Structure 1
Amino acid sequence: MNDLRVVAWIHVVNGRLTAVRARGRNLLYLPGGKAEPGEDDREALAREVQEEVSATIAPAAFIELGTIRAEAHDQPNHTHVSMTCYTADHNEPLSPAGEVNEIRYLTKAERNELAPAGRAAWDLAKEKGLLP
């Protein structure tokens, strides 16, 4: 098993899931990414969320929702992604930063614009009662 291990922030605003588009990507992703050496999941997620959507969230504020496994999109060396999903409250506006050039708030009708792991995370968020 050659999984790419990542963390993601499930952030719902007015019943819509926050998603981002990185430069050069055709599908949308959830804010998040890979841990750097020495980081735990929550520290990595706090850093990634700051780098991608300019949100400052304390690592301890992230609440784990679960881990999904899905086909990796646009990752030639990995056949699957193992994504641990977290949620955390944040009420300030988000703005794209770093490699992110677009932030979207998706409705159920737009779910298929997400990469496969994002669609699985959508289902997890719905199962946990975060999405309608």
Structure 2
Amino acid sequence: MIRTAALAHIRDRRLLQTRSTGKDVFYMAGGKIDPGETPETALHREIREELGVGAIDVRELDVFEAEAYGHAPGTRLHMTCYLGDLTADPSPSGEIAELRYFTLSEYAAMPDVAPGSLMVFRRLHDLGLIDE
């Protein structure tokens, strides 16, 4: 089980996704929870590392469990996802090569998608927060 914390940051009814250097798939902004960290503490650390900004007005959306993309078959992802805003415009930093905002259909049309991210897209669409 891979435990992560992720940020659902929405702008213009699109959800922010990040692509790591050397990878093709876009994921939720965030990352693994280190030993001794709470999911929210990990979220704030990861957002600073990946986007170069702070996360504000953070509130838990839900916990999503899915197949962990890019890992051995059967490896599960346990992702605590938060809705929130950013203190400034994000820019890729650390291992992040690219940031992009997607609608549900834009993300789903990608050649490869992360199952956990797709679950979040669907939930946010069902809640009326992002466009199809």
> Residue 86 of structure 1: which of 82, 86, 98 is its match?
82
Q: Is the 8 A contact 2:13 2:130 kept in 1?
A: yes
Q: Is structure 2 residue 6 aligned with structure 1 residue 22?
A: no
Deviations 1:77-126 (A, max 9, x none): 76221111101122621100000010001123322233111101111222
Question: Structure 1 residues 37 and 75, CA, compared in 2 at 3 Å: closer, same or farther?
Answer: same
Structure 2 CA distance, aligned partners of 1:55 and 1:27? 22
Q: Say what the alpha-carbon RMSD is for the aligned residues.
A: 1.7
Q: Does structure 1 retain, via aligned residues, the 8 Å contact 2:16–2:102?
A: yes
**Aligned counterparts, 1:1-132, within 5 A:** 3-57=1-55, 61-76=57-72, 79-90=75-86, 92-112=88-108, 113=110, 114-132=113-131
The one-letter code sitting in structure 2 at the alignment partner of 1:86 is Y
Q: State the aligned residue count.
A: 128
Whose strand proportion is higher, 1 or 2? 2
Superposition TM-score, scaled by structure 2 size: 0.88
| Cα distance in 1 between the residues matched to 2:90 and 2:116 | 22
> 8 Å contact 2:54–2:87 — kept in the other structure?
no
Unaligned runs of 5+ in 2: none
Q: Is the Cα contact below 8 Å between 2:30 and 2:47 reproduced in 1?
A: yes
Paired AA for residue 74 in structure 1: G
Runs of 4 or more consecutive aligned structure 1 residues displaced over 4 Å after TM superposition? none
The TM-score normalised by the length of structure 1 is 0.88
